[in-house]
Amino acid sequence: MRLWIFSGLVLAGCAGSQGYMAEENAGLGPGVPAVAVQPIDPPWLQAEQQRRAARGRQDVSALLVDQPAPYQIGQGDILTIVVWDHPELGAGAPAAQAQSAPPSAAGAGVPSAGFVVDHDGLVQFPYAGTLRLAGLTEEQARALLAERLARYLSQPVLTLRVQAYRSQRIYIDGEVKEPGLQAINDLPMTLVEALNRAGGALPSADQSRLLLERGAQRYPLNLPLLMQQGVNPARILLRHGDVLHVPSRDESKVFISGEVVAPRALTMHNGRLTLNEAMGEAGGLTPQGDGRQVFVVRRVGGEPRVFQLDARAPGALAMAEAFELEPRDVVYVAATRLANWHRNISQIFPGALSSAVGAAR
């Protein structure tokens, strides 16, 4: 009977069996679960790849927009309204300024100081009275104001545009150059535009694990996978109140330990790292490592799962390359029986084994 313990997990199995089945763990105290070990073989890998492909299909249909709608005026926006040939209607434009302006400027009217859309979405304008402009585009607001002014002015010509965009914002944080609030303006706030305004993603960003929060909904976004599936990230439109989080690659590390040359924590490459790549980055097995006992410990739904690869089996390299690790996986390579026996003897009788070898020589 052999036992392996990984962070409180106990694996028990009998020599010669193809998998190590879980057994009752009576002697190690309560709360230490025993788990079954899933062998990594071609049939299981094929089924796992199909499951991963099904999980990898991202449903971003609710986020995709082919033709973004024009910007709609909102509460807090500041508008610039100029009525041609009527500079006296400009907000805060003194008469002296209008008289001293060049003819071209006087003909178009002196630019106003701005009209603020109040919390009710209303704007007050001379002769036109109180207008509800919130929810209208610039073109619609211009037409409504011209209709009101036509009661007092003959064929009024005016210019209306948003001077300051303050009603709609998104928030972007994480591994970007300039995290913080980004105002939505007349340019559509797509996912690509949001990242660009934040200065772009840093080299430490994990672009495979972006998270978009919209109210109570959370949308995980894998940019490399979206592009592989033919989905243009520029079609993903962000809305007012959205929060975009760009995580660090350090949050999705894989840990490799045991009988490997260089035990370490490995960062995934845009969310992808195979077991073969992990073993290669760790320098491979030490002479004391047992290639038949390469384990991967993973938590699935709060429960531990353990997978075993026999690296000495035919086609083991192909299976290791096909086995994709997930964030926070633990790869562990067990020692051979001889190495374990040597270590146990050395702990019980320090120096005894070396003395015996010296005496034999």
Domains and CATH numbers, the chain: 2-57+289-355 (3.10.560), 78-164 (3.30.1950.10)
Using CA atoms, how far apart are residues 22 and 5, in angstroms rounded to an integer? 12
293, pLDDT greater than 60: yes
Q: What is the mean pLDDT of residues 3-32?
A: 41
Question: Rounded distance, CA 200 to CA 166, Å?
Answer: 23
As a whole-number percent, the residues of the chain with pLDDT over 90 amount to 61
The C-alpha atoms of residue 16 and residue 178 are separated, in whole angstroms, by 58
pLDDT at 70: 94
3-state helix, strand, coil in the chain (%, to 5): 25, 30, 45
**What band does 4 get if pLDDT is binned at 50, 70 and 90?**
very low
| 211, 247 contact by CB (below 8 A) | yes
Question: Higher confidence at residue 47 or residue 301?
Answer: 47
The three-state secondary structure class of 357 is: helix
Q: Dump pLDDT digits (tens) for 330-353.
A: 999 998 876 665 666 666 655 544
The C-alpha angle 241, 75, 185, rounded to 5 degrees, equals 60
Check if the beta carbon of residue 77 is closer than 8 Å to that of residue 114: no
Q: How many angstroms separate the CA atoms of 214 and 85, rounded?
A: 46
At residue 82, what is the residue type? V
Closest CA to 181 of 169, 197, 163: 169
Averaged pLDDT, 165-187: 96
- Tell me 69's DSSP state: P
Q: What pLDDT does residue 337 have?
A: 79
Residue 192 phi, psi dihedral angles, 5° rounding: -65, -40
Element (H, E) at 218: strand 217-221
| pLDDT band, very low/low/confident/very high, at 185 (cuts 50, 70, 90) | very high
Give the length of the chain.
Answer: 361
Q: Are 110 and 98 in contact (CB under 8 A)?
A: yes
Do 28 and 299 form a contact (C-beta atoms < 8 A)? Answer: no
- Do 321 and 301 touch, CB atoms closer than 8 A? no
Residue 342 pLDDT:
60
Secondary structure (3-state) at 48 = helix
- What confidence score (pLDDT) does residue 122 get? 97
Do 209 and 224 meet the contact criterion of CB atoms below 8 Å apart?
A: no
Q: What is the pLDDT of residues 37-47, one digit of tens each?
A: 899 999 999 99
Share of the chain above pLDDT 70, in %: 77
| Strand (E) or helix (H) holding 37 | strand 37-39
**Is pLDDT above 90 for 307?**
yes
Per-residue pLDDT at 271:
83
- pTM greater than the 0.75 cutoff: no
Helices (H) and strands (E) in the chain, counts: 10, 18
pLDDT higher than threshold 90 for residue 76: yes
Q: Please give the backbone phi and psi of residue 24, each rounded to the nearest 5 degrees, phi first.
A: -65, 130
CA atoms in the 13 A half-sphere facing the CB of 303: 6
Q: What is the CA radius of gyration of the chain?
A: 33
Q: How far is CA 235 from CA 66, 113, 318, in A?
A: 6, 36, 37
Mean pLDDT is lowest, of 106-115, 140-149, 193-202, 213-222, for 106-115
Distance CA 113, CA 254 (A): 57
